[in-house]
Structure 1
């Protein structure tokens, strides 16, 4: 479902199969207000080269509804994010059809890589989009959605957001946007 003026990018089955294991570059800059960290790229994202690109993923609508962006950006406009003080990275770089295809070791290794990335970029906040992935990557079993008051990466504060995948039925779009809005309010302080 493309909006007027939106480029029509619909990967073929062959494109999606070829995207397995492909890497997706980060959208980052030093000193961001919030570095948003997905679990890993899906095949649709890897095939198109754009984060959270699969139709039905609620990342872009939630980002807008929460007030982070003045309008709903399309995945192919991801390069605009640093202008809003935002960036995107992933815990695991390897593209898969589902996040549950990743091993615990991949997520733990991704956590170590993320530590180094955050040290170099120094965002004010790191927001991991997925509580289970956060628990695995950071070695904690009791983390919950919201600010992680007892954890940080140097001067970077940590926040957990719900996974915006359409497969996460625990959160409606409005509830998801509400959680994003809480982070936005904290980032503005």
Structure 2
């Protein structure tokens, strides 16, 4: 029986009080940081577990992964030098439910994780979250002038299905820009459909 991808309201209710553990290791090439987990991701215990989230196709189309992974296969990212965390750990339906104080505290905690784990790149998903957590009101998508220790910072568009500003092809282009900046090879070359 295939795994369910939608959760009932009863299943989602307690998810707001849960957290998802980081998928992280020392010295990763890229640590991806979402704004915060969605309720369905928290209920399912999987980062970016909402079927409408476009992270997994964007990683594949950009060449970060050799095939299209799903949320249940997220641990495979570690062997590719990629980890996942969040700015704020509290799950919500929408990031707009988060307070300014949560963003500030989340940004400070994320800095601590980055300094402790030393990824070469921190890729933040969503310019709005980056601006709020890192006091960078003028930030745009792309390479940031700031760094955290030796870790360079890159802001990517939010891959949520709610982000209509970046259709799938444009989202993949932005993810490709980051992959090329990191020096990682195109792992999906020859495996994507023409």
Q: CA RMSD in A?
A: 1.2
| Structure 1 spans left out of the alignment, 5+ residues | none
The match for 2:125 among 129, 133, 142 is 129
Deviation at 1:9, TM superposition (A): 4.1
Checking the alignment, whether the CA contact within 8 Å between 2:60 and 2:66 is kept in structure 1 is yes
TM-score by length of 2: 0.92
Could you tell me whether the CA contact under 8 Å between 2:30 and 2:82 is conserved in 1?
Answer: yes
Q: Please tell me whether the aligned partners of residues 5 and 51 of structure 2 are also in contact (alpha carbons under 8 angstroms).
A: no
CA distance in 1, matches of 2:6, 2:105: 32
**What does residue range 50-65 of structure 1 map to in structure 2 within 5 Å?**
50-65=46-61
Q: Is the 8 A contact 1:38 1:91 kept in 2?
A: yes
Equivalent residues of 2:5, 2:50 under 8 A apart: no
Dislocated runs of 4+, deviation >6 Å: none
| 2:72 aligned with 1:76 | yes
Q: Give the whole-Å Cα distance in 1 for the aligned partners of 2:136 and 2:15.
A: 31
The 2-side partners of 1:175 and 1:25 are apart by 30
Query: Over residues 13-41 of structure 1, what are the superposed CA-to-partner deviations in whole Å (9 max), with x where a residue is unaligned?
Result: 21111111311111001000000000000
Q: For each residue in 1:100-145, what CA deviation from the matched residue of structure 2 results, as whole angstroms up to 9, or x when unmatched? A: 0000110010000011000111000001101011011110111100
Taking the TM superposition and a 5 Å limit, the aligned residue runs for 1:104-183 are 104-148=100-144, 150-183=145-178
Are the aligned partners of 2:30 and 2:83 in contact in 1 as well (CA < 8 Å)? yes
Determine helix, strand or coil for the equivalent of 1:35.
Answer: strand
- Matches of 1:163 and 1:69 in 2, distance apart? 18
Q: TM-score, normalised by structure 1?
A: 0.94
Quick one: distance in 2 between partners of 1:8 and 1:76? 11
